[in-house]
A = this chain, B = another copy of it.
Amino acid sequence: MSQPQTAITPRRAEDFPEWYQQVVRAADLAENSDVRGCMVIKPWGYGIWENMQRVLDGMFKATGHKNAYFPLFIPLSYLAKEAEHVEGFAKECAVVTHHRLEGDGQGGLRPAPGAKLTEPLVVRPTSETIIGATYAKWVQSYRDLPILINQWANVVRWEMRPRVFLRTAEFLWQEGHTAHETESEARAETEQMLRVYETFARDYLAIPVFVGEKSEAERFPGAVQTLCIEAMVQDRKAIQAGTSHFLGQNFAKASGIEFLSRNNTREHAWTTSWGVSTRLIGTLIMAHGDDDGIILPPRVAPAHVVIMPVIPKPEARVAVMEAVEKLAAALRAQSFAGEPIRVEVDARDIGGGAKSWEWVKKGVPVRVEIGPRDLEKGSVAVARRDRGVKEKEFLATDVFVSGAGAMLESIQQVLLERATALRDAHTVEINSREEFYAFFTPKNAERPEVHGGFALVHWNGSREVEEKIKEDLKVTIRCIPHVEGSGPGICPFTGEPSTRRVVFAKSY
């Protein structure tokens, strides 16, 4: 059967991982640098990140947090303080050992042997330890609590198999770090930030997520409880898109965050940490892209509308460009989601077909063409990225302008509905071990290359069961849902009682 030609080769159904790499390249989002595992985030990709940052930053501030900045480097001895934490991170860190370079006598450079650091420094893989040491100095009394701080930063975790956005040695993220007087306050904070992430994913990224708790095996090293949001992407795998950790008093004890309580006793603070990263961009691509490239949810798209002048003859240029600038100004005066509509004018002197395909691949929500004939009719040719590439609507210019905000809102909704339909279609309650193994064994699924999706299954809480399943199928518990889920039942792997169904899936 012949397939219609698509902008991205291979198509999703042919080779999803390779499709992903090609979409990143075709949309000009990012590329690998010459430094192993470190990416260059190009302007179109960084524009998405800036929008994510702006929205999240507003949500953090609305919940009482302020931003601050802590050192990039962590003394080696700090990492060794929290035993579980060090076990979880120590293996994959960039280590600074020298503070000066010198000529190597052959025109090159080398670390100066005389400038070896007494104590090596680790480039932060996450900042609990260095921030904990700082909070220990800030907190004397219960009056100094809570501390509600967020940091926007780069972090480094050496990765053996990097994949742009999803798993890179250096990535950008935010990390919230809070310290509280009581356990219940800290638990409430952990839950609150999880809900912020859930809301952000649904309302801005158009991605419905499962929210819940990680099993002990998947928990953040050193945390008492790790809450997470888990997204399903189009190959039906899960992506952990954000986490919120209740750290109990573990890090406070390791760092010495102590305070004089209301009862005049010395207590350790209760801390939390929570973060999302540039991984969200990878999640977006895999959640919404099609065989022609990325499809950007309007609320985080760097541009909402691209206007492409059509100039068949040089003498038409002035009139067309005038109309283009007038339209751009009119659109910018409209608002969408509380902000002015973001408009790009692409007046490059290249073929209209190639130009239009570039913007399809970049996923801009709305493409508009104006040529001399449109001017005569007072109309514009409009294409929505959530519809077929050839599907154009001819709209009276004023109708288009006044309805542009609503059109963007409609695209946002369509993307959320599609992602929800995908997730619901491939989230299945499973009650037997055989059914479970079949679900996650590709040859048993209707498409040979794709496994089943998310399985909601009873589980007796045993780590051995979890490990066996991971070994057999590369399937893990993504989360123990907070709300979705079920009443009690029987664990199909052991026959033992279970309090609720958990979400099993393959994951990135």
Interface residues of A (CB under 8 A from B): 31, 33-35, 38-43, 46-47, 49-50, 66-80, 86, 90-103, 107-111, 120-123, 130, 133-134, 137, 149, 153-154, 156, 158, 170, 172
Q: How far is the CA of A69 from the CA of B49 in the complex (A)?
A: 10
Contact B46 A73 (CB under 8 A): no
Q: Smallest Cβ distance from A245 to chain B, in angstroms? A: 21
Contact A95 B91 (CB under 8 A): no
Q: Smallest Cβ distance from A350 to chain B, in angstroms? A: 9
Q: How far is the CA of A54 from the CA of B46 in the complex (A)?
A: 16
Contact B134 A109 (CB under 8 A): no
Q: Would you give 15 A-B contacts (Cβ < 8 Å), ordered by A?
A: A34-B78, A35-B71, A42-B68, A46-B67, A46-B69, A69-B172, A71-B170, A72-B154, A72-B156, A77-B109, A90-B102, A91-B101, A95-B100, A95-B111, A123-B123
Q: Which residues of B contact A39 (CB under 8 A)?
A: 71
Given contacts A34-B133, A68-B41, A134-B40, contact A100 B96 (CB under 8 A): no
Residue in A96, A153, A154, A170 whose Cβ sees the most chain B Cβ within 10 Å: A96
Which of B90, B98, B108, B122 is in CB contact (< 8 Å) with A97? B98
Contact B108 A122 (CB under 8 A): no
Given contacts A90-B102, A96-B123, contact A70 B108 (CB under 8 A): no
Q: Which residues of B contact A110 (CB under 8 A)?
A: 76, 120
Q: Smallest Cβ distance from A168 to chain B, in angstroms? A: 10
Q: How far is the CA of A34 from the CA of B121 in the complex (A)?
A: 11
Q: How far is the CA of A73 from the CA of B38 in the complex (A)?
A: 8
Q: How far is the CA of A469 from the CA of B235 in the complex (A)?
A: 69
Q: How far is the CA of A498 from the CA of B55 in the complex (A)?
A: 55
* Total identical chains: 2
Q: How far is the CA of A38 from the CA of B31 in the complex (A)?
A: 31
Given contacts A33-B130, A79-B109, contact A101 B73 (CB under 8 A): no
Q: Which residues of B contact A49 (CB under 8 A)?
A: 69
Which of B94, B107, B109, B134 is in CB contact (< 8 Å) with A99? B94
Which of B93, B101, B107 is in CB contact (< 8 Å) with A122? B101
Given contacts A34-B133, A98-B97, contact A66 B90 (CB under 8 A): no
Chain B residue, CB-CB nearest to A153? B154
Chain B residue, CB-CB nearest to A99? B158
Q: Which residues of B contact A153 (CB under 8 A)?
A: 154
Given contacts A34-B75, A101-B91, A109-B76, contact A66 B47 (CB under 8 A): yes
Which of B77, B107, B170 is in CB contact (< 8 Å) with A80? B107
Q: Which residues of B contact A69 (CB under 8 A)?
A: 40-41, 46, 49, 172
Q: Which residues of B contact A108 (CB under 8 A)?
A: 76-77, 80
Q: How far is the CA of A46 from the CA of B31 in the complex (A)?
A: 31
Contact A80 B66 (CB under 8 A): no
Q: How far is the CA of A154 from the CA of B170 in the complex (A)?
A: 13
Contact A101 B72 (CB under 8 A): no
Q: Smallest Cβ distance from A488 to chain B, in angstroms? A: 42
Contact A73 B170 (CB under 8 A): yes
Q: How far is the CA of A79 from the CA of B110 in the complex (A)?
A: 11
Contact B99 A93 (CB under 8 A): yes
Q: Which residues of B contact A103 (CB under 8 A)?
A: 90
Q: Which residues of B contact A154 (CB under 8 A)?
A: 72, 153-154
Contact B158 A100 (CB under 8 A): yes
Contact B72 A43 (CB under 8 A): no
Q: How far is the CA of A193 from the CA of B25 in the complex (A)?
A: 31
Q: 13 more A-B contacts (CB under 8 A) besides A40-B134, A95-B100?
A: A34-B133, A35-B130, A38-B72, A40-B70, A50-B67, A69-B172, A76-B110, A79-B101, A80-B109, A90-B109, A92-B100, A94-B98, A95-B99
Contact A100 B111 (CB under 8 A): no
Q: Smallest Cβ distance from A279 to chain B, in angstroms? A: 14
Q: Which residues of B contact A158 (CB under 8 A)?
A: 99-100
Q: Smallest Cβ distance from A27 to chain B, in angstroms? A: 14
Q: How far is the CA of A100 from the CA of B97 in the complex (A)?
A: 12
Q: How far is the CA of A158 from the CA of B121 in the complex (A)?
A: 13
Residue in A80, A94, A97, A134 whose Cβ sees the most chain B Cβ within 10 Å: A94
Shortest 4 CB-CB distances between A and B: which pairs? A38-B71, A43-B66, A41-B69, A95-B98
Contact A99 B90 (CB under 8 A): no
Chain B residue, CB-CB nearest to A94? B96
Q: Smallest Cβ distance from A296 to chain B, in angstroms? A: 16
Q: Which residues of B contact A33 (CB under 8 A)?
A: 70-71, 130, 134
Q: How far is the CA of A120 from the CA of B41 in the complex (A)?
A: 23
Q: How far is the CA of A34 from the CA of B71 in the complex (A)?
A: 9
Chain B residue, CB-CB nearest to A77? B108
Q: How far is the CA of A122 from the CA of B111 in the complex (A)?
A: 9
